[in-house]
Amino acid sequence: MENKNNPLVIFTPSGKRGEFPVGTPILTAARQLGVDLDSVCGGRGICSRCQITPSFGEFSKHGVTVQNNAISDWNSVEERYKSKRGMIDGRRLGCQATVQGDIVIDVPPESQVHKQVVRKRAEARDILINPTTRLFYVEVEQPDMHKPSGDLERLIEALDKEWNLSSLEADFSILKKIQTALRKGEWKVTCAIHSDTNSNKSNIVEIWPGYYEGSIYGMAVDLGSTTIAAHLCDLQTGEVVASSGSMNPQIRFGEDLMSRVSYSMMNSKGDEEMTSSVRAGMNELFSEVAQEANISTNLIMDAVFVCNPVMHHLFLGIDPFELGQAPFALATSNAINTKSSNLGLSQMHSASNVYLLPCIAGHVGADAAAVALSESPNTSEDLVLIVDVGTNAEILLGNKDKVLACSSPTGPAFEGAQISSGQRAAPGAIEHVEIDPTTKDPRFKVIGSDYWSDEIGFEDSIKSSGITGICGSGIIEMVAEMRMAGIVDGPGLIGSPEQTATSRCFQDGRTFSYLVYDGSASNGPKITITNRDIREIQMAKAALYSGARLLMDKFEVDNVDRIVLAGAFGAHISPKHAMALGMIPDCKLKNVSSAGNAAGTGARIALLNHSARSDIEKIVTEIHKIETAIEPRFQEHFVNASAIPNSVEKFPILETHVNLPLINFNMGNSKEGTRRRRRN
């Protein structure tokens, strides 16, 4: 019952309020009201996680006036903490300061248990920090001959009593360390505890004597067919402390997924070879990232992986044979929660858990689920098409009523592979291009320089990198610009010098190529676009477009409201050029945005917030999967989408922004061909 004589305590920003007897610690009041105020040391004045800011004066909004003596005096514990570690002026330790009168208390973001990590893009949701593995400081009763019990039993009892951690178990490795830790810490220890929300079980993963000052970490991994990207996150702040990427070492068994499936079919133990190669690559990457962050790999206590179904199976050590043939059955589509040791992950804590997001279907994997988690099409008011561009494109289309998903085998062309002058995005690679429609001369920008190639300063800016090739986003712009400048026709043929009126087009075997840059005078490369390169891009973009178009058919729409380009280089793709190429459907350019590596972000969300894991496990059951391989219209869409931009579909919005000349170089001489085509 409320006692009217008790002071009123109001917390901001939550607005939670209640009356508490004089002398109640602010941390106790916060806990009783369910205010999100952190504590690792359980109110012992050691961890400083409970910092709060009391406010004084008139608060008409809350109907209180706070006197200067509404909170207890600064005490010696706070003084000791401030002199040793420092504390912002005006801050107090919530476990030390007590209520003396009506008071307004602000909980700063860094003192909240469930902090938000702010994502940079305006439309992206912030990530709530609520990790599976957290630190707990506890004081344990000393052994007593009259009440015989083991050290572990007393530790578990103390953790339950103080932190309400029931169903607690300890990893076997803890038994070896517990006695030394308890005695060295004078019966005070810090434990890292992993909690599994589904089973309601908690497990002690690590133990330190006394109060452990450091942090613990988790790894969010996007395991792609071509590249692996890993982000090391601080599990307490949510911050990404180091990131790194590497090529998937399985590439030597085949560039695309199907060639890896056939490698496992053709070679006995082929799947095992690929499993050990990807696990070895993962261990190398983990150790590299930990080194970059200057932490021991033993502090990596959680990891989340997202990958396509074939990578998923090979990483788990499951033969992907069934994924190579209809009905593309997965060994399991459920999320996987297992020990790191089961996956041969030696470069993280040996008792840590790892989590793989659920797969959506045999061809639509955990990476697509991660994109759905990051971009939330299932809550979108308007119809959004999300395209995760990679060797295998994941495509999602939907809104709050329904979400459809498919994947499409685009191949590695968008990553610069199988393109004569293609290369990975690195300094020296051409990433932006413009071609003058009159002179047909290109100007370009390379990674590492802010200048266009025809600007003063360009030569100096590329001295160390040189001009080395064209990266994936550069290829998209290049082919689209060639089409817009009349160097390539709709079916995808490069014209002759006569047809295009430029000597940059030259005979190259039975077809023509276009010269972008000739560095031979200075021993540099000659960068050209061959007709074969154009074909590779046509195949890749047609696969991507037809997947999207198929989902639009199923949704019974001809237009989408918004397009989100995701993927490792999704952020670098120019929407105008992607549309001119016919890679994505016609849409208002301002409604095409980039999400960066959305699959990686989805992995990070699942790493930092364990309730996001149950969210995505539920969401995937509601996503309708479309298997492109067995859809009769896929082939028809693919053929139409092989033209640039498309032989059937119209792009009226795009045409208000760019000029796409009506030319066909395969009809005798260019002028004739052009005239005939125009009359049509």
| CB nearer to ligand FES: pick between 4 and 85 | 85
3-state secondary structure of 274: helix
| CB nearer to ligand FES: pick between 81 and 315 | 81
Nearest distance from C-beta of residue 271 to ligand FES, angstroms: 50
Of all residues in the shown chain, the one whose CB is closest to ligand FES is: 95
Q: Does 95 bind ligand FES (CB under 6 A)?
A: yes
- Classify burial at 456, counting beta carbons within 10 Å of its beta carbon; exposed 0-12, middle 13-18, buried 19 or more: exposed
Buried-state track 647-679, b at ≥16 Cβ within 10 A, e below 16:
eebebeebeeebebbbbbbeeeebeebbeeeee
| CB nearer to ligand FES: pick between 41 and 579 | 41
Residue 633: how many other CB atoms lie within 10 Å: 13
Residue with tokens 């000029």: 659
Nearest distance from C-beta of residue 237 to ligand FES, angstroms: 16
Q: How many residues bind ligand FES (CB under 6 A)?
A: 14
The distance from CA 389 to its chain's CA centroid, rounded to whole angstroms, is 13
| CB nearer to ligand FES: pick between 9 and 221 | 9
Contact 543, 391 (CB under 8 A): no
Nearest distance from C-beta of residue 49 to ligand FES, angstroms: 5
Nearest distance from C-beta of residue 136 to ligand FES, angstroms: 11
Nearest distance from C-beta of residue 13 to ligand FES, angstroms: 20
How many whole angstroms separate alpha carbon 276 and alpha carbon 279?
5
Q: Does 127 bind ligand FES (CB under 6 A)?
A: no
Q: Does 54 bind ligand FES (CB under 6 A)?
A: no
Q: Does 210 bind ligand FES (CB under 6 A)?
A: no
Distances (CA, A) of 620 to 83, 314, 453, 598, 607: 51, 21, 47, 16, 18
Kindly identify the residues of this chain, within the stretch 391-410, that bind ligand FES according to CB under 6 A.
none
Contact 59, 15 (CB under 8 A): no
Contact 229, 597 (CB under 8 A): yes
Nearest distance from C-beta of residue 38 to ligand FES, angstroms: 8
Q: Does 111 bind ligand FES (CB under 6 A)?
A: no
Q: Give the torsion sign (CA, 415, 421, 424, 427).
A: negative
Nearest distance from C-beta of residue 260 to ligand FES, angstroms: 51
Nearest distance from C-beta of residue 384 to ligand FES, angstroms: 43
- List CB contacts of 57: < 8 A, sequence separation 6 or more: 65, 66
Nearest distance from C-beta of residue 21 to ligand FES, angstroms: 20
First CA to last CA distance, the chain: 86
Contacting range for ligand FES; rule: CB under 6 A; set: 48-56, 190-198, 306-314, 392-400:
48-56
For residues 12 to 41, the per-residue mask of contacts with ligand FES, x marking binding by CB under 6 A and - elsewhere, is ---------------x-----------x-x
Contacting range for ligand FES; rule: CB under 6 A; set: 88-96, 241-249, 528-536, 567-575:
88-96
Which conformational region is residue 582 in: left (phi greater than 0), alpha (psi within -120 to 50 degrees), or beta? left
User: If we measure between CA atoms, which residue out of 638, 245, 598 comes closest to residue 394?
Assistant: 598
Q: Does 93 bind ligand FES (CB under 6 A)?
A: yes
Report cis status (omega within 30 of 0) of the bond before 358: no
How many whole angstroms separate alpha carbon 637 and alpha carbon 412?
21
Nearest distance from C-beta of residue 88 to ligand FES, angstroms: 15
Q: Does 429 bind ligand FES (CB under 6 A)?
A: no
- List CB contacts of 91: < 8 A, sequence separation 6 or more: 51, 52, 53, 108
Nearest distance from C-beta of residue 81 to ligand FES, angstroms: 7
How many whole angstroms separate alpha carbon 475 and alpha carbon 516?
11
Angle at 569 between CA 119 and CA 610, to 5 degrees: 40
Q: Does 43 bind ligand FES (CB under 6 A)?
A: yes
| CB nearer to ligand FES: pick between 50 and 370 | 50
| CB nearer to ligand FES: pick between 89 and 450 | 89
Kindly identify the residues of this chain, within the stretch 542-581, that bind ligand FES according to CB under 6 A.
none
Q: Does 48 bind ligand FES (CB under 6 A)?
A: yes
Contacting range for ligand FES; rule: CB under 6 A; set: 90-98, 318-326, 330-338, 516-524:
90-98
Find the binder of ligand FES among 26, 29, 30, 47 (CB under 6 A).
47
Q: Does 49 bind ligand FES (CB under 6 A)?
A: yes
Q: Does 107 bind ligand FES (CB under 6 A)?
A: no
Nearest distance from C-beta of residue 41 to ligand FES, angstroms: 4
Nearest distance from C-beta of residue 99 to ligand FES, angstroms: 15
How many whole angstroms separate alpha carbon 370 and alpha carbon 599?
5
Distances (CA, A) of 340 to 131, 346, 350, 557: 17, 8, 7, 45
- List CB contacts of 480: < 8 A, sequence separation 6 or more: 576, 577, 578, 580, 581, 644
Find the binder of ligand FES among 46, 105, 393, 595 (CB under 6 A).
46
Contacting range for ligand FES; rule: CB under 6 A; set: 46-54, 140-148, 230-238, 628-636:
46-54
User: If we measure between CA atoms, which residue out of 177, 308, 182, 163 comes closest to residue 250?
Assistant: 308
Q: Does 435 bind ligand FES (CB under 6 A)?
A: no
Find the binder of ligand FES among 50, 306, 366, 612 (CB under 6 A).
50
Nearest distance from C-beta of residue 31 to ligand FES, angstroms: 10
Q: Does 71 bind ligand FES (CB under 6 A)?
A: no
Q: Which two tokens stand for residue 463?
A: 């001295």
| CB nearer to ligand FES: pick between 43 and 495 | 43
| CB nearer to ligand FES: pick between 211 and 328 | 211
Nearest distance from C-beta of residue 90 to ligand FES, angstroms: 16
Buried-state track 213-251, b at ≥16 Cβ within 10 A, e below 16:
eeebbbbbbbbbbbbbbbbbbbbbebeebbbbbeebbbb
Give me the helices (H) in 349-501, please: 366-375, 458-461, 472-484, 497-500
SS3 assignment for 504-546: CEEEECCEEEEEEEECHHHCCCEEEECHHHHHHHHHHHHHHHH
Q: Which chain residues interact with ligand FES by CB under 6 A? A: 27, 39, 41, 43-50, 93-95
